Amino acid sequence: MTNLTVTLLAQTVASGLMIGLIYALIAIGLTLIFGVMDIVNFAHGEFLMLGMYASFWGASLFLLDPLVTLPLTALMLFALGVLIYRLVIRRILAAPMLSQIFATFGMMILLRGVAQFLWKPDHRTVSHSLVEGKITVLGLQFGTPQLTASLGAVLVTGGIWWFLNRTRLGTALEATSIDREAATLMGINSQRMFALAWGLGAACAGVAGALLSTYFPIFPEVGADFILIAFVVVVLGGFGSVAGAFWAGIIVGEVEVLGGFFVGPAYKTALVLSLFLLVLLFRPRGLMGKA
C-alpha cells in the first residue's frame, strides 16, 4: 500500500469515528426510552430536527452560536419530551404494541408537518458558527465543526452515563428499566421515571441536532436520515443499553464510511442495514443488551 492509501484509509476511519459518536448520542436517547418502558419512539429523528431548528433560530435571530444555545436547546427538548409523555405516551402504556408504534409514528408526521408549517421545506444552514474551517492533526484533516460535534457528543454521552450510574435519580431510572414493579415497591414513582426518560431521550437527540447544525443542512425531513441508523445502533448495542449504544454507534459509523469507501457510497446504508439484520438474527440481544 502506498502512503497515500494509508492516509486516505486513516482519514476514512477518523471520519467514521466522528459521525459514529453522533449516532451514538442520538441512539442513547432512543435506547433510554426503550429500556425504561419498552416503547420504540419513531418520532426520535424529529427531536433531532427540532434541536437543529432551535439552534438555527438562535443563530439567525439572536446571532448566538449553536454551541452557546446548546444548554437551552437541551432544556427545550427535555420539556418537549416530558410534554409528549404527559399528553400521549402516558395514555398508551398499556396499549398493544401496534398502537404504540403508530402513536409515535403519527407524532413523527405531525412534528414534520409542524416544522414545514412554521419554517417552510427549505434547506437552511447556520451561517455564523464559532467553529469553521479545518485543522490538521498527524497529517489528517478534520473539519472543525465535525470534530467539535463529536467531542460534544462524547461529553454528553459521558454525562448521561455518569447520571445513570452515579446519581440517585439515575439509579432509580436504571432500576425502573430493570424491573418496573420491584422499583415501584421500593418507592420509585415509575410515572416520573418514564417522564424523565422521555425528557432525557428527547434532550439527547436535541443536543445531537444542535451539534450537527453547525455543518449539516436543516430541513423538516432531516430526521428521516438518522432514525433508521439510530434503530440499527440501538439493536446492535442491545435494547436499553447506554454503553452498548455508544460502542455500536462507533461501529455503525465505521461500517458506513468504510463500506462507502470500499463498496461504493450508494450502498453504505444497505451495508449498515445488513449488519443490523445479521445482529438481529444471530445475536438479537445485541452487544451489551440484557439477555
Contacts of 290 (CB under 8 A, 6+ apart): 178, 238, 240, 241
Q: Does residue 101 belong to the site contacting other proteins (CB under 8 A)?
A: yes
Contacts of 102 (CB under 8 A, 6+ apart): none
H or E element in which residue 10 lies: helix 3-37
Tell me which of 7, 184, 191, 269 binds other proteins, using CB under 8 A. 269
Residues in region 112-171 near other proteins by CB under 8 A: 112-117, 120-121
Q: How far apart, in Å, do the first and last CA atoms of the chain sit?
A: 43
Tell me which of 173, 235, 242, 252 binds other proteins, using CB under 8 A. 235
Tell me which of 6, 10, 277, 283 binds other proteins, using CB under 8 A. 277
Tell me which of 96, 138, 168, 181 binds other proteins, using CB under 8 A. 96
Q: Does residue 228 belong to the site contacting other proteins (CB under 8 A)?
A: yes
With CB under 8 A as the contact rule, which of the stretches 59-67, 151-159, 169-177, 275-283 interacts with other proteins? 275-283
H or E element in which residue 141 lies: strand 140-143
Cβ distance 160 to 208 under 8 Å? Answer: no
Q: Does residue 26 belong to the site contacting other proteins (CB under 8 A)?
A: no
Binding mask 238-267 for other proteins (x = CB under 8 A): -x--------------------------xx
CA 132 centroid distance within chain: 23
Cell 439567525, located at residue:
60
Considering the complex, state which of residue 40 and residue 75 has its C-beta at the smaller distance from other proteins: 40
Q: Does residue 106 belong to the site contacting other proteins (CB under 8 A)?
A: yes
| Cα 28 from Cα 21, distance rounded (Å) | 11
Q: How many CB atoms lie within 10 A of CB 72?
A: 15
Binding interface with other proteins (CB under 8 A):
40, 88, 91-92, 95-103, 105-117, 120-121, 220, 228, 231-232, 235, 239, 266-267, 269-270, 273-274, 276-277, 280-281, 284
